[in-house]
Amino acid sequence: MDINNLRAFIEVADKKSFSRTAESLKLSQPAVSKRIAALETELSAKLFDRVGRSVHLTEAGRVLLPSARQIHLELSRIENVICSMGSEVTGSLRIGTSEQIGTSHLPEALRTFRSNYPKVEIDLQFDSVKPTLAALEGGLLEIAACALPNRVSLSSKLHRLDIWSSDMVVVTAVDHPLTTDDTVSLQLLTKCPAILPSAETATRREIDDILRNADVKANVSIEANDFDTMKTMASIGLGWACIPAYLVSDSLAVIPVDELALKHTVSVIHHNERTLSRAAQAFVDVVSG
């Protein structure tokens, strides 16, 4: 079974589009169609239905997809192992991360990595922390770059290497009433509207734990999982937010809240039971150097 045909099948299934798959794989659309047709011929089964511009998996396609992912990952692993035996760092590297980290922390590291190892194919997968860690633990990713509060404990199967760290600070608009106090208590802070991440995120759980221990609760008016969105909402007076200190700008005032001491730490995570490919090890060396 051709690995390129399998990859095309997985990409079409995920993107539900032959044209977007062609863009992702840097192929023409007819080339993608040819790969799918070859796979269908090999399996004697139709894998996709096209209804108008929509693409849907057939029953056979739905049965094939989980196995196709595992086969593709194993073939990619073998390819990486063989490539790693040479003198050059080559092969492919699938990294899971969030869009926030992808735009704030990774670009410079990826620029250096690409410059040093131009023959490595980088595949970035964007998602929130929970599904990213699940994909890493399940073997669908080799490396993850995630922002995790220090109190979060990972599965024993995962190894965490902290790379970047920043204090979390409470911010408001520059004319917010809280800016008139030298220090602000949690009791006073929670009387004001808050802009916080959604309840299922690790950062929100850590904030809620601190407030619960002080016998108070956040007055959440807006939930947003993107720090840039939280920053903007706070700057126009919609409430206070808790963001990494490196994001503070002139449009914001930092409110001193001694009881709310948090760190924003970005970690590189990999599976303990999986030997890192030379490409993955090179990436770890770049971001930790």
CATH number of the domain residue 43 falls in: 1.10.10.10
Identity of the amino acid at 51: V
Supply the mean pLDDT for the chain.
89
What is the rounded CA–CA span in Å between residue 28 and residue 35?
A: 11
Can you state the angle between helices 3-15 and 29-43, rounded to 10 degrees? 110
Are 81 and 169 contained in the same domain? no
Decide if 115 is inside a domain.
no
What is the rounded CA–CA span in Å between residue 71 and residue 86?
A: 24
Mean pLDDT for 17-23 is 90
The per-residue pLDDT for range 256-269, each reduced to its tens digit, is 998 888 888 899 99
Decide if 30 is inside a domain.
yes
Decide if 20 is inside a domain.
yes
| Domain range enclosing 16 | 1-85
Decide if 107 is inside a domain.
no
Confidence (pTM) = 0.63
For residue 222, the model assigns a pLDDT of 95
User: CA angle 225-125-268, nearest 5°?
Assistant: 80
For residue 4, the model assigns a pLDDT of 87
The per-residue pLDDT for range 92-101, each reduced to its tens digit, is 899 999 888 8
Q: Which of 52, 67, 85 is the last residue of a domain?
A: 85
Read off the pLDDT band of 138 (50, 70, 90).
confident
- Tell me which DSSP letter residue 26 carries: T
Decide if 206 is inside a domain.
yes
Decide if 68 is inside a domain.
yes
CATH number of the domain residue 169 falls in: 3.40.190.290
15's enclosing H/E stretch is: helix 3-15
Cα–Cα distances in angstroms (integers) from residue 122 to residues 7, 90, 159, in the given order? 15, 10, 21
The number of folded domains in the chain is: 2
Decide if 52 is inside a domain.
yes
Quickly list H helices, 85-128: 99-104, 106-116
Task: Report percent pLDDT > 90 for the chain.
Answer: 54
Decide if 131 is inside a domain.
no
Residue count of the chain, please give it. Answer: 289
Q: Which of 23, 56, 85 is the last residue of a domain?
A: 85
DSSP for 89-101, written as a single string: --EEEEEEE-HHH
Q: Which of 85, 115, 138 is the last residue of a domain?
A: 85
Cα–Cα distances in angstroms (integers) from residue 74 to residues 3, 52, 144, 221, 227, in the given order? 10, 35, 18, 46, 36
Question: Would the pLDDT of 147 be above 90?
Answer: no
Mean pLDDT for 4-24 is 90
Backbone dihedral angles phi then psi of residue 124, each to the nearest 5 degrees? -90, 130
Read off the pLDDT band of 225 (50, 70, 90).
confident
For residue 149, the model assigns a pLDDT of 67
